[in-house]
């Protein structure tokens, strides 16, 4: 089993404040996840009611876009941080995981690999955009086609007892059987959707599940690309390898506050609903965040263009002077 580490620079922060921000609570998590699921259900109901009309196309797109945001919910619950009550966390993880073909055991341990070797060429089990980034790679991930294919293929293979070698090195041996059984149940539920569609002679069950995953793929992919694309690799300071950006309340809601991505990587045990407060406490030690999704993609596009001429190029990040002194002091001690 691969040894997971966390040898990263951590910005100084008041210990009492960190303890306060790290406290989990059922109420904000229930409100956030409940609101999301209610909105998804309403759009699903609208799709069902308008099925067979021109409006169904509109609601299919809206419903699918919302469905794609479930990947962010999987990310949060795989950390076990949103809910104080553990079974609530696991139910949400399992439900959202089924929606986007992410089996809970493998995604949880695989994500630990990502946090242990963030944006490293060796060890990062979720590395999907290593430098230099190509336009083809950007399309593959941003369209959602790459992620949908990868997770669907992985889930199907896992249901037949095969788990990728890099995951087998991380997942504890005692949890491998559970991971395989979970995958089998998930695949069986998808098969049930197909049978339902065949018996009822309608595409509706497919559009509501598998189809929604494909339609919502670009939402998942475009959010994912904001995190590390074109940034420095193989460095143990998240401020250089990870990207935070400012976002509207709507974007923050659907992305579960993961626009605060440096904050999340540096302090992964802080629940997502407390990340704005954490960001405020650390802003004087962090690079200036990109301005919205538009700012992120301007940065990424310019980075890719530069990497066409210089494959070793990465987008530089400047940290405040005092933060730099703190990092040097930490390294010296």
Tens digits of residue pLDDT in 118-171: 999 988 989 999 999 999 999 999 999 999 999 999 999 999 999 888 888 889
User: Of 251, 260, 75, 230, which Cα lies nearest the Cα of 138?
Assistant: 230
Q: Long-range contacts made by residues 87-90, C-beta under 8 angstroms, separation at least 24?
A: 88/26, 88/29, 88/30, 89/29
Backbone angles phi, psi at 291, to 5 degrees: -90, 95
Q: How far apart are CA 128 and CA 137, in angstroms?
A: 8
Q: How far apart are CA 123 and CA 120, in angstroms?
A: 6
- 30: Cβ–Cβ under 8 A, 6 or more apart, which residues? 83, 88
Backbone angles phi, psi at 246, to 5 degrees: -75, 150
pLDDT at residue 333 in the model: 43
pLDDT at residue 332 in the model: 45
pLDDT at residue 305 in the model: 97
Tens digits of residue pLDDT in 213-241: 999 999 999 999 999 999 999 999 999 99
Whole-Å CA distances, 125 to 97, 142, 194: 18, 19, 31
pLDDT at residue 164 in the model: 85
The H or E element containing residue 181 is helix 173-200
- Domain residue limits, the chain: 24-332
Query: From the first residue on, what is the mean pLDDT of each consecutive set of 10 residues in the chain (333 residues)?
Result: 67 96 97 98 98 96 97 96 97 97 95 93 91 96 93 95 86 93 97 96 96 96 97 96 97 98 97 98 96 97 97 95 53 46
């Amino acid at each position: 089993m691969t040894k997971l580490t966390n040898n990263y620079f951590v910005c100084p922060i008041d210990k009492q404040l960190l303890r306060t921000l790290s406290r989990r609570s059922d109420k904000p998590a229930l409100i956030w996840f409940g609101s999301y699921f209610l909105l998804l259900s309403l759009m699903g109901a609208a799709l069902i009611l308008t099925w067979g009309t021109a409006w169904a196309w509109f609601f299919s797109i809206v419903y699918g876009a919302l469905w794609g945001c479930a990947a962010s919910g999987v990310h949060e619950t795989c950390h076990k941080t949103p809910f104080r009550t553990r079974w609530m966390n696991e139910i949400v993880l399992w439900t959202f995981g089924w929606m986007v073909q992410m089996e809970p055991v493998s995604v949880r341990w695989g994500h630990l690999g990502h946090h242990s070797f963030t944006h490293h060429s060796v060890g990062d089990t979720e590395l999907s955009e290593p430098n230099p980034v190509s336009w083809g790679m950007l399309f593959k991930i941003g369209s959602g086609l790459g992620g949908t294919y990868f997770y669907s293929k992985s889930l199907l293979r896992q249901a037949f007892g095969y788990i990728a070698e890099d995951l087998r090195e991380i997942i504890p041996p005692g949890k491998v059987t559970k991971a395989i059984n979970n995958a089998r149940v998930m695949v069986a539920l998808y098969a049930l959707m197909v049978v339902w569609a065949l018996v009822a002679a309608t595409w509706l069950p497919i559009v509501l599940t598998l189809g929604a995953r494909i339609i919502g793929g670009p939402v998942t992919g475009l959010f994912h690309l904001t995190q590390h694309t074109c940034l420095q690799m193989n460095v143990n300071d998240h401020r250089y390898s990870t990207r935070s950006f400012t976002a509207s309340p709507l974007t923050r809601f659907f992305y579960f506050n993961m626009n605060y991505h440096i904050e999340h990587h540096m302090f992964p045990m802080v629940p997502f609903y407390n990340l704005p407060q954490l960001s405020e406490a650390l802003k004087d030690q962090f690079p200036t965040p990109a301005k919205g999704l538009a700012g992120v993609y301007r940065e990424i596009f310019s980075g890719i263009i530069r990497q066409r001429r210089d494959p070793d190029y990465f987008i530089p990040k400047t940290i405040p002077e005092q933060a730099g002194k703190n990092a040097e002091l930490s390294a010296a001690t």
